[in-house]
Amino acid sequence: ISLNIIFSLKINNTSIDDYLTYDMTATGQNSVSEVTINYLHQLPADTHIRIVGLTDRPTNLRDTPYEYIVPLLDDYVSISEGKVTVEYINPTKYPSIIAELDPNGVYDLANATGYVVSCNGQIIQINPIDCFTYDNEYLQYGYYLPTANIVEQKFTSAIVNLTQGYSYKAYFVTGLGEGTHEQLSNMLASMSIASEEIMASDNFVVPSDCDLLILNGINTDITESMIEAIKTYLSGGGKMIVAVNYYNTNVNESFTKLNMLLANYNICIGNSLIVENDPAHQINSDPYNTLIDVASDYVETAGGYTSLRNSYARPITD
């Protein structure tokens, strides 16, 4: 009873309980890690890192992304020895904050939401929804179910980029039937690599600030002009990651132009897959599977089954 009375007391119309946070996770994911603490402590004493939430300070945190963000940012302030400040300024009430953070209009903050991390005249925007990864097939209370909390990765990576005065940039090539790259983008961000998208086209040009070009799970071939553009980029020391998808929907795609490009580096992408014939290992049952007959000589090996489901069947090239 005494504790409940204490917790219900209010300071500046805020209950004491709102000032208290508890991290019950086994990994301490809702607390600032030693890595972040050590990094902030080794920064010069006159370092000023300003974090601005472009909204009113959230008060009802439960079951929202801010439940993980607001208390963690308060921890940044408390352990930073005055080097980090956190403010909540709603641009609809105080529109001058946009010009204050971005006086030259470089970052297009007029329509921005979430947080802005500012230091040394440079800023990085962080959207709360990007601080988590989600199960895109499972909806809960109208939202996708979060599967990972990467709040600290996002904010500490931004602080490292801004205080060290460098950043790397990766570009994902889009428009080739590729899959999503949310997970890979988050991995890159944790390594201080920002990422953007660039559309495949007949006028394709690799941006001058590109440190890493990524063709991620493409399903259709690159364009003719992309061959020379990417060759020029790679010959200048550029780096590239290539991954292709083979589905039953693109069975006739042999990536002729892509292989023309890769041939310059002694790489060839073929359409062959090793097929798993052990039924105990064929756990996939999505719509892309096909039913195949098991030859009578192998029925015993197949555990008595006369047919098996075979995922993404492709020939095996000798």
Given a cut of 60, is residue 147 above it in pLDDT?
yes
- Summarised one tens digit per residue, pLDDT across range 15-70 is 444 445 555 454 455 678 899 999 999 999 999 999 999 999 988 888 788 888 99
pLDDT higher than 60, residue 277: no
Read off the pLDDT band of 186 (50, 70, 90).
confident
Distance CA 169, CA 246 (A): 28
| pLDDT band, residue 272 (cuts 50/70/90) | low
Bridge partners of 53, per DSSP, are 88, 115
- Quote the pLDDT of residue 2: 74
Q: What is the pLDDT of residue 291?
A: 63
Report the half-sphere exposure of 32 (CA within 13 A, side-chain side): 20
CA-based R_g, the chain, Å: 26
* Residue from 242, 253, 243, 260 nearest 314 by CA: 253
Phi, psi of 289 (to 5 degrees): -70, 150
pLDDT value of residue 298: 79
Question: In this predicted model, what pLDDT tens digit does every residue of 88-101 receive, in sequence order?
Answer: 999 999 999 999 99
pLDDT in the model for residue 274: 55
Q: Which residues of 175-211 are buried (b: 16+ CB within 10 A; e: fewer)?
A: ebbbeebeebbbebbeeebbbeebebeeebebeeebe
Per-residue confidence (pLDDT) for residue 285, from 0 to 100? 46
Strand, coil or helix: what is 272?
Answer: coil
Give the chain's mean pLDDT.
Answer: 80
DSSP E strands, 141-222: 143-149, 168-174, 193-199, 212-218
pLDDT value, residue 1 = 75
Question: According to the model, what pLDDT value does residue 227 have?
Answer: 95
pLDDT of residue 287: 45
pLDDT value of residue 273: 56
In this predicted structure, what is the pLDDT of residue 24?
Answer: 46
Does the pLDDT of residue 77 top 90, yes or no?
yes
pLDDT for 166 equals 64
Residues 259-265, mean pLDDT to the nearest whole number:
91
**What confidence tier does 156 reach under pLDDT thresholds 50, 70, 90?**
very high
* Per-residue pLDDT reduced to its tens digit, 3-24: 666 656 655 555 444 445 555 4
CA neighbor of 121 nearest in space, from 141, 106, 137: 106
Alpha-carbon distance of 36 to 160, in angstroms, equals 10
Residue 9 corresponds to which tokens in the numbers above?
Answer: 């007391």
Which residues, at least 6 apart from 97, have a Cβ–Cβ distance to it below 8 Å? Answer: 52, 54, 89, 91
| DSSP code at position 208 | T
83: confidence class by pLDDT, cuts 50, 70, 90: very high
Q: Give pLDDT tens digits for 223-261.
A: 999 999 999 999 999 999 998 876 656 667 888 999 999
